[in-house]
Amino acid sequence: MKNIIFHVDVNSAFLSWEATYRLHHKGGTLDIRTVPSAVGGDMSMRHGIILAKSIPAKKYCITTGETILEAKRKCPNLLLVPPNYGMYEQCSKAFMGILKEYSDNVEQYSIDEAFVDISETCHLFGNPVETANQIKDRVRNELGFTVNIGISSNKLLAKMASDFEKPDKVHTLYPEEIEEKMWTLPVSDLFFVGRATTKKLLNLGIMTIGELAKTDPVWLKTVFKKQGEIVWNFANGIDFSPVVSVAPPNKGYGNSTTTPYDVVDEVTARKVLLALSETVGSRLRKDHVEIELVSVGIRYSDLSYVSHQKRLKTSTDLTMEIYNAACELFVALWNGYPIRHLGVHTGKVQDCDFSRQMVLFDDTDYEKLSKVDDTIDVIRKRFGNDAVKRAVFVNQPIDHMSGGISREKRSVDYSKIVVD
């Protein structure tokens, strides 16, 4: 083959990493991967959903994304463990480190999966299957968790192959194997075919990937627009996307948070928006970029969602400028109903421009605001995010650095947990 692409996927990543940590670092004797178990959020913080589950838990039809209450109804004895994203990031870094020993072209697709273009280096380690088995065994023996590896000539087929029988397996899906190994699968198994598309395809009598592959592509495009063309190509194993080791620049920066209780007043909502603006602004400054577009999203207690956006007169990375725009949008958008989730998002990203266009009658000292933000960033980087906070957040239940991975998910106090 001209191209040799691996897709490497950690088996039940969050749960596997937690199991490995308990067994090798906390003196645990129970491998939670062998019993019905799941990683779940904190219900008291309204983050009570299943984030990952063990293979035995799948027998109870427990699914990622469902609520803990729903999962418990299916399996009353389900073992729940809290998320620990700080540890997950360390495991991911170690996992990616092994992959980069085999190729300098590794695309991290998510925290627990990656594409590896091994076309130029495979001959150094053996044939593709031998090389994949070597990587798989090293991850298991050195890091304590298992991966599946799919092998093909493009990313799509490699990803499909890695989803075959699990765990700790290597599978091939070369173009000549598509009819035998992929076309017999249900259409819902095809990458990029979600629940809504699956339902439409089934209603049209298209049950398998093979049936989709043999469907008239012109008709599919008429029915599904651009997505019709994409899924037809994927069903036929066609994918020209390269493995890209350098992530493209962000097109936007944003954070959102589910509040621990319904927000019913503007004062509290403004505090949440300020906390979100803090984290968004710090990310912009860290990447040396500015934005021209700010948007605010509101999810009400009935789960309905609304959003609104505005374009700024000049690009910025200042926390207070983002916050002021967010508040203006919020006031125009909020209908007074109880709020369970708020988000601040930005767009029109560009490289940092040190020259600022002057606005008539605007007497804001932007240079002073910039120095304050930079100073706060330095202090937090050196001493931690809690080293300095605005007075409005003192003795308040709202996290002054909200958004992204919530505080209770970043680490776990194992002194308060019984590890079997």
352-367 average pLDDT score? 73
Task: Specify whether the backbone of 61 is left (phi greater than 0), alpha (psi in -120 to 50) or beta.
Answer: left
Residue 332 — very low, low, confident or very high, per pLDDT cuts 50/70/90? very high
Model pLDDT, residue 321: 95
Contact, 165 vs 144, CB < 8 A? no
190-218 average pLDDT score? 95
pLDDT tops 90 at residue 403: no
Q: Mind listing the pLDDT tens digit for each residue in 83-131?
A: 999 999 999 999 999 999 999 999 999 999 999 999 999 999 999 999 9
Q: End-to-end CA distance of the chain, in Å? A: 48
CA proximity to 18, closest of 145, 114, 136, 166: 145
DSSP letter assigned to residue 143: I
* Catalytic residue numbers, as ranges: 113
CA proximity to 3, closest of 235, 190, 191, 242: 242
Residue 367 — very low, low, confident or very high, per pLDDT cuts 50/70/90? confident
What would the DSSP string read from start to end of 235-266?
HTT---PPP-SSPPPPS--EEEEEEEEEE-SH
Model pLDDT, residue 420: 82
Beta bridge partners of 351: 289
Longest dimension (CA), the chain: 71
Instruction: Look at the chain and count its residues.
Output: 420
pLDDT tops 60 at residue 344: yes
pLDDT tops 60 at residue 45: no
Domains and their CATH numbers in the chain: 1-176 (3.30.70.270), 183-235 (1.10.150.20), 254-410 (3.30.1490.100)
56-85 average pLDDT score? 92
Model pLDDT, residue 301: 92
- Give the whole-angstrom CA distance, residue 290 versus residue 288: 7
pLDDT > 90: what percent of the chain? 80
Q: What does pLDDT average to over the chain? A: 92
Q: Mind listing the pLDDT tens digit for each residue in 219-235?
A: 999 999 999 999 999 99
Task: Specify whether the backbone of 84 is left (phi greater than 0), alpha (psi in -120 to 50) or beta.
Answer: beta
CA proximity to 309, closest of 276, 343, 335, 337: 343
Top pLDDT among 61 and 406 is at: 61
Amino acid found at 130: E
Model pLDDT, residue 318: 95
Residue 364 — very low, low, confident or very high, per pLDDT cuts 50/70/90? confident
Quick one: tokens of 338? 């109880």
- Give the whole-angstrom CA distance, residue 329 versus residue 324: 9
- Give the whole-angstrom CA distance, residue 56 versus residue 74: 13
Contact, 284 vs 374, CB < 8 A? no
Residue 8 — very low, low, confident or very high, per pLDDT cuts 50/70/90? very high
- Give the whole-angstrom CA distance, residue 288 versus residue 302: 38
Residue 416 — very low, low, confident or very high, per pLDDT cuts 50/70/90? confident
Task: Specify whether the backbone of 177 is left (phi greater than 0), alpha (psi in -120 to 50) or beta.
Answer: alpha
pLDDT tops 90 at residue 268: yes
Beta-strand pair 170-172/79-81: unpaired
Residue 65 — very low, low, confident or very high, per pLDDT cuts 50/70/90? confident
